[in-house]
Structures are given as structure tokens and as C-alpha cells.
A = this chain, B = another copy of it.
Amino acid sequence: MTPNRKKPNINTTPVELMPDFQFAISVDCVIFGYEENTLKVLLIKSDLPAFANKWSLLGDLLHPDEDLDAASYRVLRDRTGLDNVFLEQVHTFGQVNRHPAGRVVTTAYYSLVNIRHHQLSQLDNELHWHPVNDIHEMAFDHKKILDTCLKHLQKKVQEEPVIFNLLEQKFSLRDLQNLYEAILDVKLDRRNFRKKLFTTDLLTDIHEMEQDVPHRPGKLYTFNHARYAKMKKKTFVGIDF
């Protein structure tokens, strides 16, 4: 636990650095979005020859004077222009040979963003939203990271109302149900879904209706952040397996 070495500086010899301070650390962000009834993830074409034409998560190396969490926020901000978005650490991947350029341990985060709230940088023409279910091969161990984050998301949306980060501010119950179904990959009963959601008391009826839909328009709601903040956290004590 204790690296009894002084902080390396420009005069530090390699021998002094070795073997403890020879690691690189990166963060990788699984940025989820939702569009056309489909859960998507933002990917970039890998810039490594070893992974030519493979898609890669958005990541970067941790800077020497940067907190780990800050690095993931930086990646997200730089790539999407978005700030103050939902971002959570999931898991750290540290297989010896996971990166061809050397020993790079990476910490995976996932983020939930509203696709329409940002513009992909014009410069980033290698950046694209991909339906999560269409992704089979990726660079590095990124498929494994994606799978891990997706499982985490599936669990999370059932425990906390983070799902609203993926929707427009105003949404119909149908939108919300479609999104749950897309993430969880299940079909839900419409009537029981509505009942359940209304008992949470977190939806505000804004007395507006959907516009330009080719069927009877549904009511629009917003997520009541204030009420959720005040909600006493469910001190769930049960055994459930």
C-alpha cells in the first residue's frame, strides 16, 4: 500500500520510477442516449491501427493533477459539450494486456444524456450514436465495458429515477414506457405501468398534449425533481433473492 518513493519529477531516474509508477490510467465513458425508440451509445472510430475500423468508447488518459471523476467529466464535456449531466462510476478494468500501448488501467463511467440537447462537434465526424443492440465488436475490451455498464443501467433504472435524464423535459407516459422497455428489453403492461408511475408521485401533469402525432395525443408530464429530492430515501430492508 505504501510506495516509499518520492514524487517523481523531471530529474527522477527511470530506476526510481520503476516499478511502481509505471502505470497509465484512463477513463472510458459509456454515454447513453435515446432516440427513435432505441437506446444508443456514443462511439468513436478507434485511432489505433491495431483496432482499425473498430468502434471505441470515449475516453482519455487521466492527467497528473486531475481527480479521476474530473477526468470523466472532462471527456464528456469535451465530446458532447454537455455539462451537469448524470455520470456515475461503474467498474475498473485492469487486465494486464487490455491495451496494446502499455499497461493502462481504465475506469468505466456511464452517462445519461439527452441526444437532442447537444450537437456533436463538426470536427468529430468519427463520432456516432449507435443502437446498443447492434454493437457486437469493439476496440480493446470496450464491448465488455459496454456490457457491464448496460447491466448496471438496467439495475439502476429500476431502483432510482435516473431514466428521465434520457428524455425530453416534457414526455408522455408512452415515451417513458417505451424507454423502460428499450432499456430492460421487456414488454410492460400499459395499465400497470401507469398505475405504478403515478403512485411514485414524481410526475407532474403540465396539462399539455402531444403535438403532431398520428393518433390520439397523450398528456405530457415533467419529472418532479423537487419532490424526488424531498422524498425520504426508501430505507428498504428486505431479503429479495
Residues of chain A having any CB pair with chain B under 8 Å: 1-8, 10-15, 17-26, 28, 47-48, 56-69, 71, 89, 91-96, 99, 101-105, 107, 157-161, 180, 184, 186, 188, 196-197, 200, 234, 236-241
Contacts and interface: CB of A to CB of B under 8 A. Distances in A.
Number of identical protomers: 2
Nearest to A4: B101
A95 B94 CA distance: 18
Contact of A17 (B5, B17, B89, B91): B17
B23 A63 contact: no
A241 B203 CA distance: 13
A78 B174 CA distance: 55
Contacts of A186: 237
Contact of A184 (B104, B234, B237): B237
A160 B241 CA distance: 6
A236 B94 contact: no
A19 B17 CA distance: 12
Nearest to A98: B67
A241 B161 contact: yes
B89 A67 contact: no
Contacts of A7: 101-103
A3 B10 CA distance: 19
A181 to B, nearest CB: 10
Contacts of A5: 101-102
B238 A158 contact: yes
Nearest to A180: B239
A185 to B, nearest CB: 9
28 contacts: A1-B58, A3-B61, A3-B101, A3-B102, A6-B101, A8-B14, A8-B22, A10-B18, A13-B14, A14-B17, A19-B63, A21-B21, A23-B62, A25-B25, A67-B96, A68-B94, A69-B94, A71-B94, A89-B92, A92-B92, A105-B105, A158-B237, A158-B241, A159-B241, A186-B237, A188-B237, A234-B241, A236-B240
Contacts of A241: 158-161, 200, 234
